[in-house]
Amino acid sequence: MAAITITSDDAWQIQPNGQPLRGTIHVPGDKSISHRALMLGALATGTTYIQGLLVGDDTCSTAACFRELGATISDLNSDLVTVEGIGSGRLKEPLDVLNAGNSGTTMRLLLGILAAQTGRFFTLTGDASLRSRPMGRVVQPLTQMGAQIWGRDGHRRAPLAVLGQALKPITYTSPIASAQVKSAILLAALPTEGTTILREPYRSRDHSERMLQAFGAQLTVEPEEATVELTGPCQLSGQTVIVPGDISSAAFWLVAASITPGSELLLTNVGVNPTRTGILDALWNMGADITLENERMATGEPVADLRVRSTQLQGTTISGALIPRLIDEIPILAVAAAFATGTTQIRDAAELRVKESDRLAAIATQLQHLGATVTEISDGLDITGGTPLYGNALESYGDHRMAMSLAIAALNAKGSSRIHQASAAAVSYPNFVTTLQHIA
């Protein structure tokens, strides 16, 4: 019996078949690293070669924007994608509005890059979800650098317009731990004369710092202080980037195998950068049986194979500095908590309210529809697990991580479920359904 089928009205029909999950999975390329490889490749001089690029809706949006800005990018589906760079302050003024689709990373990082393209004019938009998301968090520090940006809602929401300027360096303490804010400022600082210093309340993912260093930028990192310094102007030169598998995509299988009795999965070639492995720490705290094998480095990023076996999970607390290290995994962790004994408390996670959907409200209501005991609070969730879940009609809110998290929950419920707007999964994981059919 097929565990998951796609219906004609953009839904997934989930039919639990009681089978353990077994097999080997190659998860798709890391989304954050893929965006950055395309962007830095376009800003560098010379050719960048990218192996293992994620070809999802979000990275296709980034590639489309940079093609309009003058970069020559080969077919994204080829094994080795090439980007012919244009140089960091030399992007072309596009003929039309740039469309970032559903991708916050594309829009926020682009704002930093475009703000520094002296004398050129750009307009930017995205889908309904992205147009509702806060851009003031990057517009404000970029304006301090001298950027000229206009937009809806007091210049805080897309559509946005940018008139590139010669910027000045800043020292900026971000009120939130956000890799997108940090990266936008670093990218704006690249062609800017002088030293830009950036501090965060907690350390966010550091893929930009690693890749900028590899491309030749003058950048220093103080991990203990969550501080980064970049001295411009920097000339980047094209590199070879090997993109590891995305731990945020592996997370669905880590939880699925943990909660489905008798399961064992091997997830190969997964990025295990310590700024991203909060999901492993949280699941280990819950008693999960996950081991790292074959640990190695791939172009400056740690990589491993992850072996996961089913086990009875227990409730845990997830808060503070752990939050930015698992920010995108909270929906699937909430699913894990619904199958764990005891209560899981998630705190300090108000950022989830401004992701592709309000993920605190979305996961709380949808898990409640399955019969789980979930209380939503302003910055988190309380989830008391261990009671059986029952299949139901569910809503992804067009959010890729919601669709996939709900599929894993529904697979372990009694009776069938239908998840609406499920094709959103293609934003980060186009082969999710095929993979699930293969292992279930």
Nearest distance from C-beta of residue 140 to ligand S3P, angstroms: 14
421 binds ligand S3P (CB under 6 A): no
Strand partners, 171: 197
Using CB under 6 A as the binding rule, the residues of this chain from 102 to 121 that contact ligand S3P are 105
Q: Let me know: does 100 contact 65? Beta carbons within 8 Å.
A: yes
Nearest distance from C-beta of residue 323 to ligand S3P, angstroms: 9
Pairwise CA distance, residues 303 & 29, whole Å: 12
Using CB under 6 A as the binding rule, the residues of this chain from 228 to 287 that contact ligand S3P are none
Among residues 156, 47, 52, the alpha carbon closest in space to that of 108 is found at 156
Chain centroid to CA 150: 26
Q: Let me know: does 414 contact 368? Beta carbons within 8 Å.
A: no
Where helices occur in 157-245 by DSSP H, the ranges are 179-189, 207-214
328 binds ligand S3P (CB under 6 A): yes
196 binds ligand S3P (CB under 6 A): no
Residue 179 or 370: the one with the smaller Cβ distance to ligand S3P is 179
Pairwise CA distance, residues 93 & 123, whole Å: 10
Residue 234 or 327: the one with the smaller Cβ distance to ligand S3P is 327
> Sign of dihedral through CA atoms 172, 176, 177, 180?
negative
Establish whether 36 is an annotated binding residue. yes
Establish whether 178 is an annotated binding residue. yes
Helices and strands of the chain, counted as H and E runs: 15, 24
| Three-state DSSP state, 309 | strand
310 binds ligand S3P (CB under 6 A): no
Both tokens of residue 91?
């992007």
Establish whether 34 is an annotated binding residue. no
> Sign of dihedral through CA atoms 247, 248, 251, 253?
negative
Residue 127 is a catalytic residue:
no
C-alpha distances out from residue 233 to 119, 166, 342, Å: 17, 11, 54
Establish whether 31 is an annotated binding residue. yes
Residue 4 or 334: the one with the smaller Cβ distance to ligand S3P is 334
Nearest distance from C-beta of residue 182 to ligand S3P, angstroms: 7
32 binds ligand S3P (CB under 6 A): yes
Q: Let me know: does 370 contact 417? Beta carbons within 8 Å.
A: yes
Residue 117 or 273: the one with the smaller Cβ distance to ligand S3P is 273
Residue 389 or 402: the one with the smaller Cβ distance to ligand S3P is 402
Residue 187 or 381: the one with the smaller Cβ distance to ligand S3P is 187
327 binds ligand S3P (CB under 6 A): yes
Using CB under 6 A as the binding rule, the residues of this chain from 349 to 368 that contact ligand S3P are 351
Nearest distance from C-beta of residue 346 to ligand S3P, angstroms: 15
Q: Let me know: does 227 contact 80? Beta carbons within 8 Å.
A: no
x/- map, 162-191, ligand S3P, by CB under 6 A: ----------------xxx--x--------
204 binds ligand S3P (CB under 6 A): yes
* Residues comprising the chain, all counted: 440
Which residues are known binding-site members for phosphoenolpyruvate?
31, 104, 133, 180, 359, 401
Which residues are known binding-site members?
31-32, 36, 104, 133, 178, 180, 328, 355, 359, 401
Residues taking part in catalysis: 328
